[in-house]
Amino acid sequence: MTAVLGCTPAPKQEPVVEESPVVETTQSEKEYEAGTWIDNWELAISYARQSGKKVLVNFTGSDWCGWCVRLSSEVFTQDAFKEYAQENLILLKLDFPRNIDQSSELKKQNQYLQRQFGIQGYPTILLVDEEGKEIARTGYQPGGAQNYVKHLQELQQSK
């Protein structure tokens, strides 16, 4: 049995953006460094197409959501997850912070994707394919990094 715990409600959304915004990025557009988090949707999808890997999309409130902080410290910063991610995933962090500055382009991109995927709470974790199509949806899972990796593997196998 799998339990998803503590999704925090998403904050109010700003007015609808009709087209997917283009985000200026400081990340290299040449090659993805395996196991690192990026914040640009278009780059993540491009890297997924090049590598054949799935994209793990982390919708988070990194500076205010308690379950998001736990997921990060208990899973995303642990070696078992990092090793799995390096081999199998493109990592995309879509943050909705309260006290961290973001560019207006990044905010627009994140809000657009929040609406596109119907995100209603944090943390929400999606696995998407190289076309940006949702494969699976989850959130915080108890049990640490090894359990989370097993959970992600099960989600991918069930699709």
List the CATH number of the domain containing 86: 3.40.30.10
Tell me the longest C-alpha to C-alpha distance in the chain.
Answer: 41
Across the 159 residues of the chain, what is the mean pLDDT of every consecutive 10-residue run? Answer: 53 50 53 94 97 98 98 98 98 98 98 98 98 98 97 90
In a domain, 152, yes or no: yes
pLDDT of residue 158: 78
Angle made by CA atoms 96, 27, 122, in degrees to the nearest 5: 20
Within a domain: 148 = yes
What tokens does 39 get?
Answer: 């914040």
pLDDT at 15: 43
**Residue 78 forms part of a structural domain:** yes
Would residue 139 count as lying in a domain? yes
Q: Contact at 8 Å (CB) between 50 and 16?
A: no
Q: Are 45 and 132 in contact (CB under 8 A)?
A: yes
Q: How many structural domains are present in the chain?
A: 1
**pTM (2 d.p.):** 0.84
The residues, ordered by sequence, that sit 6+ positions from 61 with a Cβ below 8 Å of its Cβ are 8, 11, 68, 95, 96, 97, 98, 122, 123
Strands 37-38, 121-122: pairing is unpaired
Structure tokens at 7: 């999704």
**pLDDT value, residue 17:** 44
Does residue 82 form part of some domain?
Answer: yes
Range of the domain at 81: 32-157
17 occurs within a structural domain: no
Residue 16 counted as domain residue:
no
Domain presence at residue 19: no
